[in-house]
Chain A
Amino acid sequence: MASSKKAIPWIIAGAVGLVAILLWKPTVLIYGVQRAGLYAAIALPMGLAEGILHIVNLAHGELLMVAAYITYSLAQALGLDPLLALFPAMIAMAIVGYLLYQLTIRKALKGPELNQLILTFGIGIALSQIITLIYTSRTRKLHLDYVSSSLTIGQTSFGIWDFTFVALAILMTIGIRLFLSRTKLGKAAVAVGQNPRGAAIVGIDVQKTYSLVFTASVVLVGIAGSFFLTRQSIFPGVGSPFTMKSFSLIAMAGVGSISGVLYSSLALGIAEAIINGIPGMSGWSDIVFFLIIIITIAVRASRTRQS
């Protein structure tokens, strides 16, 4: 009760801020929300793995990139629309995720946290270098008509395709929550996430659960990767900034909070869009992001140290 009362001034301040932005430049709000959708769609799968396996997957952004390349190749080879190529790409990503878990992550889960960090860092490098080896570092892009569709309300005109990222993020949130709360496997996963030894005692197959959740997180980020391809140019390094961004969004939301990732993405998406909206400042938008990251992490870490 006390915490909800505390939140009231924040909610009011947020609402006032949003109205102010809306009056200043409505497109900023729209692009901010769209950007937030992209961030959330990428961060949510990482949050799932972090919440259940307690592993920070530093190869997360590279898995996004790999999925985008697989989708690209399928689209080129079979002449498919990337949104149809998405389905075979999901199968490919499931195989990638399963093998990654069985061959590497599984062994490292028993070891210290730092080993997992360095291991997934190495996996990220290996993935981006394999893609460089196959595709070189040349930028690639699909040219699709539907992504440039736009809408005009009054005097403001804006692209609407990027709202698919928002939809994707919301669908992922609902999907993950339903999976964790309604299905037997999902409930088992929550139990494993909270206490793996206890879960093993009551008869849950911990290894199978880990394997499933990790694979699911790779498939989900793969879906985000296919959608990413519709809009953006891809190159081997395109995924790596998203690893850090996703980690920070999860830290901001609090590990284990699925809907929290939506709110933290929203805050960051809009903050970046505001900076981008100021003429001549667009190069600085990343700095806002990193500053927010550092402050959040510092606050979170000091809080956990105190408790």
Chain B
Amino acid sequence: MKRVSSFILPVVLVLAAVVFPLVLGPYPQTVARTVFKYMALALTWDMLFRSGQVSFGVAGFFGLGTYATVLLAVKAGFSFPLAMLLGAVIAAVFAYALGFLVLQLRGTYFSITTLALAEIFRVILRNWTSFSGGPEGIVLQQIVFGGQSKALYWLNLGVLLVVLLVSVWLENSKFHFALTSIRDNEVSAQTSGVNIFRTLLIVFTITAFLQGLVGAVDVVSYGYAMPDSAFDANYTLLPLAMVLLGGEHSTWGPVIGSVLLGVASEYLKLKIPYGHLLVYGVIIILVILFMPRGLLGFFRRKKGANRG
């Protein structure tokens, strides 16, 4: 019985998300799309973080997916669905190949190198003008679904659901134990037969695929790619803060964190056009210092304390 009841809330939420645009107007739909985008990125960041690796390269693979999709659609004349899928695959291939280098690294070295990779992608696409359009970027002739806001909403929601399913699958597969054991203690993980490098490489590639896919959907929804917006550091920063606030190493945590922070920042963006991201910095600091398990951990602990 408990298994069935644990499905009720997610199903209700997903159904509510699906019918949302039938009830509410274009502006809430745009806000929801932004929240979906960051929620998807937050989930992918958390998937790798479950192994204890802090990637600062989310923006890099997001941007790769963006550019690969645009270039395939504009230069090679691919249809949108195919360009998007291949865009995500290209991001995954890059991650797979680069994984052989960066996944040898741990801790700060891993984090900084992923950040450097994202910067390299940006610098290349910024300077290789004949290929990528340079700093001005590339514009798509048309955006997907003729820019119909409901259709775009459902497309974004669909990608988010894919990411959610992967996240839930990872949580319930043997990868979960492998990732957790790598995070806890690599030596004992290895002695218990976990192939650390292979596990990390698979998860790194999967998350890059999903990040690329989110980038691909973003670019066909907005219609242009520019190096400074496709590789915007916010794609790394915001998901990280969302995961920390909601609660790390889970699917619910990033979901809760991205809804709270996503809606809050859309509101603050209107009130304070310059500097509204201060909220993200402050939340990261406060969570690390006072609430290391995020909201989820905070309430779980309270519940436990009440019971005990």
Q: Which of B30-38, B208-216, B278-286 touches A? A: B278-286
Q: With CB as the reference atom, state the residue of chain A lying closest to B122.
A: A286
In the assembled complex, how far is the CB of residue A31 from the closest CB belonging to chain B, in whole angstroms?
20
Stretch at the interface among B107-115, B153-161, B217-225: B107-115
Indicate whether A133 sits within 8 Å of B107 (C-beta atoms), given known contacts A126-B282, A284-B123. no
In this assembly, does B91 line the interface, its C-beta being within 8 Å of a C-beta of chain A? no
Of B164-172, B252-260, B269-277, the stretch lying at the interface with chain A is: B269-277
Interface of B: prevailing SS:
helix
Residues in B lying within 8 Å of A, measured CB to CB: 52, 54, 56, 101, 104-109, 111-113, 115-117, 119-120, 123-124, 126-127, 233, 237, 240-241, 244, 272, 274-278, 280-285, 288-289, 292
New A-B pairs, 19, CB < 8 Å, besides A291-B120, A293-B113:
A114-B54, A118-B240, A121-B284, A122-B283, A123-B285, A127-B281, A129-B277, A129-B278, A240-B233, A244-B112, A283-B126, A286-B119, A286-B123, A287-B120, A290-B117, A290-B119, A290-B123, A298-B105, A298-B113
A293 to B101, CA, bound (A): 13
- Which residues of A have CB within 8 Å of B288? 108, 111, 115, 118-119, 122
A284 to B127, CA, bound (A): 7
Q: How far is the CA of A128 from the CA of B120 in the complex (A)?
A: 23
User: Is the CB–CB distance between B108 and A113 below 8 Å?
Assistant: yes
In the complex, per-residue mask of A282-307: 1 if CB is within 8 Å of any chain B CB, else 0: 01101100110110011011100100
A137 near B278: Cβ-Cβ < 8 Å? no
Q: State the CA gap A126–B272 with chains docked (Å).
A: 15
Chain B residues closer than 8 Å to A298, beta-carbon distance: 101, 104-105, 113
Q: Which residue of B lies closest to A125 (CB)?
A: B281
With a cutoff of 8 Å between Cβ atoms, the chain A residues found around residue B275 in the complex are 129-130, 132-134
B52 touches A305 (CB 8 A): no
Chain B residues with CB below 8 A from A196, complex form: none
* A97 → chain B closest CB, angstroms: 16
Question: Does A104 have its Cβ within 8 Å of any Cβ on chain B?
Answer: yes
A240-275, CB under 8 A of B: which get 1 and which 0? 100010011001000000000000000000000000
Given contacts A125-B277, A129-B275, A290-B119, contact A297 B112 (CB under 8 A): yes
Enumerate chain A interface residues (CB-CB to B < 8 A). 56, 104, 107-108, 111, 113-115, 117-119, 121-130, 132-134, 136-137, 240, 244, 247-248, 251, 283-284, 286-287, 290-291, 293-294, 297-298, 300-302, 305
**Cross-interface CB contact of A294 among B113, B124, B240, B276, cutoff 8 Å:** B113
B278 engages A130 (CB within 8 Å):
yes
A133–B124 Cα distance when bound, in Å, is 32
Q: In the complex, which residue of chain B has the Cβ closest to the Cβ of A305?
A: B104
Nearest CB in chain A: distance from B234 CB, A: 10
- List chain B residues, Cβ under 8 A from A137: 274
Set of chain B residues within 8 Å of A247, measured between Cβ atoms: 108, 112
Evaluate contact between A117 and B108: CB separation under 8 angstroms.
yes
How distant is the Cα of A113 from the Cα of B183 in the complex, in angstroms?
Answer: 13
- Cα–Cα distance between A300 and B109 once the two chains are bound (Å): 10
Q: Which 10 A-B pairs have the closest CB atoms?
A: A122-B284, A126-B281, A133-B275, A125-B281, A129-B278, A283-B127, A132-B275, A119-B288, A122-B285, A290-B120
